[in-house]
């Protein structure tokens, strides 16, 4: 019988009379129904599955989901079969979905978004405790109960027990690519962290009306999830550190449920966000180190790695280009929302560390320790690689040119128009400093530095220059580690992201972490970075985002 035909007279399992179709998705059709045995309204989800083996597995997993008891998880009343088709009987939540609300009323403010996020963290915690992964956390699967505002996570129809594969025998999985984590796109076994990535994307959607990875094509979505810069929307305001932590591409660096709950709970209660554990910390007993993965298109011999947490070595891994190609083939053939891809790098940007012989751009007396010991000269960002990967003298910087009109500065920042021919937003109180090649804007305590370097474009482009600098990193930065260089884009232009940790200027200050983005534009290569102590990465990343979002180069 047709799944879309009127079902007023259909009674399944001898008691559930199907009445009105409430919605349909890739995994099933949801009906308003009436439980004739208990005399109550219910929701019935008719699963759209293939063979008997798939149906049996879905029923088994649905019964596991039924054991999850939490006020923000939809209540599963029954799991039945009718005409060899599985059905899940659930509580009927009167009210539309979060997706409906965003369509009708527009984006939410930070307070309401935090409330919803906190509720969903509780739901995911309960599911994960039972060993169940949701795997499709998105606004359409979040119900908003009318009258009470209760947040309900529903549609565990494609949930899987933790540890099971996320790929079907056909090489595809069903889900929503714009909310799917990089590791799931890789086709690897995914853990609870994958649901937390989806939650981070959902919070962005709540604040703006759409996923940060929304693109016009599936290929564009894949590229956005794996490679593109991830910068939380300006509307996120105080929630930016939480969203950043959830959208860490390395699952081992992603915020856990508890780590995200604490600041969101404080914000919902007090209206302010406390400090929180930051991505980039060393893995602990509950956060094992994750293997690094090379981006698509790179050979196994290329030194392209996932950024590791401090204290953990980065390890080159073979590329997984075949997985991405297979995903696109599956989509083209089946027409389903099926994807396999790669685990990419966190593309929030990176920054350049000190260069031996160059004065530290800090008002504090701390000196760059690398300048005190013999080492190879620093590889300038415009260097070109040879067989021995040596540095070449930088070309003279182009004559200063006035930039186009500067973009508005976010709260707490001011726009500066630099005499070197660019404009950007820097935090209030940061002071300008220079050396022979670079411009710095330095925090009052000297701990955080925003750096900008403008040079003529070179044949190797930003990616080649960053790779040369990365190769020379151990010579230029004592304790150089957790380093990675990945290709990306900036405002639609080819770019490269470089990230690393090093020992820092002084033992008292401790290690520093650097985020650096370089790109070519109008015949010049622009290099923008932020460097800060590892304990102040939230500030550093906010400053990095503000600098990149507001940066206007010379015309």
- Per-residue model confidence as pLDDT tens digits over 2-35: 444 444 568 998 999 999 888 776 567 888 999 9
Give the tokens for residue 78.
């029954």
Output the CATH code of domain 11-91: 3.30.200.20
Helix (H) or strand (E) holding 44: strand 40-47
Write out the E strands in 76-161.
76-82, 85-91, 132-133, 142-144, 151-153, 160-161
Pick the closest to residue 259 from 72, 125, 134 (CA basis): 125
Q: Is 420 helix (H, G, I), strand (E, B) or coil?
A: coil
Q: What is the pLDDT of residue 294?
A: 29
Q: Where are the domains of the chain?
A: 11-91, 98-276+290-334, 369-553
Residue position matching structure tokens 């399992």:
13
- Report which DSSP code applies to 210: S
Q: What is the pLDDT of residue 356?
A: 30
Superfamily of domain 369-553: Mog1/PsbP, alpha/beta/alpha sandwich (3.40.1000.10)
Write phi, then psi, for 56 (nearest 5 degrees): -60, -45
Q: pLDDT truncated to tens, each residue of the chain (555 aa)?
A: 444 444 456 899 899 999 988 877 656 788 899 999 999 999 998 877 655 555 666 666 677 777 888 889 988 888 888 887 888 898 999 888 999 999 999 999 999 999 999 999 999 999 998 888 888 899 999 999 988 889 999 887 555 544 443 434 444 445 689 999 998 887 777 789 999 999 999 999 999 999 999 988 888 888 889 888 888 888 888 899 999 999 999 898 999 999 999 899 888 888 877 655 444 433 333 333 333 332 332 222 222 222 333 333 333 333 333 344 334 333 333 333 333 222 223 333 333 333 333 333 333 323 332 233 233 333 333 333 333 333 334 444 444 444 445 567 888 899 999 888 899 999 999 999 988 789 999 998 889 999 999 999 988 899 999 999 999 999 888 899 988 888 888 888 888 999 999 998 877 778 999 999 999 998 899 999 999 998 888 888 889 988 988 899 866
Class of domain 98-276+290-334: mainly alpha
Q: What is the pLDDT of residue 506?
A: 78
Of 78, 136, 475, 545, the active-site residue reads 136
Q: What is the pLDDT of residue 165?
A: 39
The Cα diameter of the chain in Å comes to: 86
**What's the alpha-carbon Rg for the chain, to the nearest Å?**
26
What is the tens place of the pLDDT at every residue in 152-177? 998 875 555 444 434 344 444 456 89
User: Is 136 one of the annotated active-site residues of the chain?
Assistant: yes
Give the tokens for residue 497.
């992201």
Measured distance CA(128)–CA(198) in Å, rounded: 14
Q: What is the pLDDT of residue 310?
A: 35
Measured distance CA(414)–CA(430) in Å, rounded: 9
Measured distance CA(107)–CA(99) in Å, rounded: 10
Q: What is the pLDDT of residue 427?
A: 94
Measured distance CA(32)–CA(51) in Å, rounded: 26
CA atoms 273, 279, 283, 287: torsion sign:
positive
Q: What is the pLDDT of residue 54?
A: 59
Q: What is the pLDDT of residue 5?
A: 42
Write phi, then psi, for 418 (nearest 5 degrees): -85, 145
Pick the closest to residue 491 from 295, 231, 306 (CA basis): 231
> Which residues, in sequence order, are bridge partners of residue 432?
441
pTM of the model: 0.53
Q: What is the pLDDT of residue 152?
A: 94
């Amino acid at each position: 019988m047709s799944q879309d035909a009127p079902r007023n007279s259909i009674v399944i399992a001898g008691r559930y009379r199907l009445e009105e179709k409430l919605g349909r998705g890739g995994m099933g059709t949801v009906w308003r129904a009436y439980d004739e045995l208990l005399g109550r309204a219910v929701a019935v989800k008719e699963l759209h599955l293939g063979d008997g083996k798939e149906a049996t597995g879905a029923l088994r997993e649905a019964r596991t989901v039924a054991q999850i008891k939490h006020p923000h998880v939809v209540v599963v009343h029954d799991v039945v079969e009718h005409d060899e088709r599985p059905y899940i009987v659930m509580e009927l939540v009167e009210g539309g979905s979060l997706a409906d609300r965003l369509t009708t009323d527009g984006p939410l403010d930070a307070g309401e978004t935090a409330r919803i996020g906190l509720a969903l963290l509780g739901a995911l915690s309960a599911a994960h405790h039972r060993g169940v992964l949701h795997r499709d956390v998105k606004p359409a699967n979040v119900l908003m109960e009318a009258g009470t505002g209760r947040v309900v996570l529903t549609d565990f129809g494609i949930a899987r027990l933790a540890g099971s594969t996320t790929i079907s025998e056909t090489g595809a999985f069903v889900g929503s690519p714009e909310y799917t984590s990089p590791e799931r796109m890789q086709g690897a076994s995914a853990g609870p962290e994958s649901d937390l990535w989806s939650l981070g994307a959902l919070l962005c959607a709540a604040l703006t009306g759409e996923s940060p990875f929304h693109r016009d094509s599936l290929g564009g979505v894949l590229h956005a999830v794996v490679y593109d810069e991830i910068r939380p929307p300006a509307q996120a305001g105080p929630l930016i550190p939480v969203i950043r932590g959830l959208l860490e591409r390395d699952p081992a660096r992603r915020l856990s449920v508890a780590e995200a709950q604490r600041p969101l709970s404080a914000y919902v209660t007090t209206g302010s966000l406390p400090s929180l554990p930051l991505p980039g910390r060393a893995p602990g007993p509950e956060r094992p180190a994750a293997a690094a993965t090379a981006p698509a298109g790179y050979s196994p011999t290329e030194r392209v790695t996932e950024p590791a947490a401090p204290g953990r070595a980065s390890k080159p891994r073979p590329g997984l280009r075949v997985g991405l190609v297979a995903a696109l083939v599956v989509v083209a053939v089946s027409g389903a929302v099926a994807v396999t891809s790669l685990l990419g790098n966190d593309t929030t940007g990176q920054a350049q560390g000190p260069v031996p012989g160059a004065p530290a751009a800090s008002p504090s007396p701390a000196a760059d320790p690398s300048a005190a010991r013999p080492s190879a000269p620093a590889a300038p960002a415009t260097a070109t690689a040879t067989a021995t990967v040596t540095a070449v003298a930088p070309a003279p910087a182009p004559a200063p040119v006035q930039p186009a009109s500067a973009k508005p500065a976010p709260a707490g920042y001011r726009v500066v128009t630099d005499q070197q021919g660019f404009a950007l937003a820097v935090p209030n109180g940061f002071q300008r400093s220079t050396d022979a090649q670079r411009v710095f804007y330095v925090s009052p305590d000297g701990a955080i530095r925003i750096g900008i370097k403008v040079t003529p474009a070179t044949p190797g482009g930003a990616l080649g220059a960053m790779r040369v600098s990365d190769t020379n990193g151990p010579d230029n930065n004592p304790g150089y580690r957790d380093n990675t260089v990945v290709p990306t884009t900036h405002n639609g232009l080819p770019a490269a992201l470089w990230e690393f940790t090093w020992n820092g200027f002084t033992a008292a200050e401790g290690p520093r972490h650097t985020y650096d983005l370089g790109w070519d534009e109008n015949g010049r290569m622009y290099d923008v970075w932020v460097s800060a102590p590892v304990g102040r990465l939230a500030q550093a990343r906010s400053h990095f985002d503000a600098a990149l979002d507001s940066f206007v180069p010379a015309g």
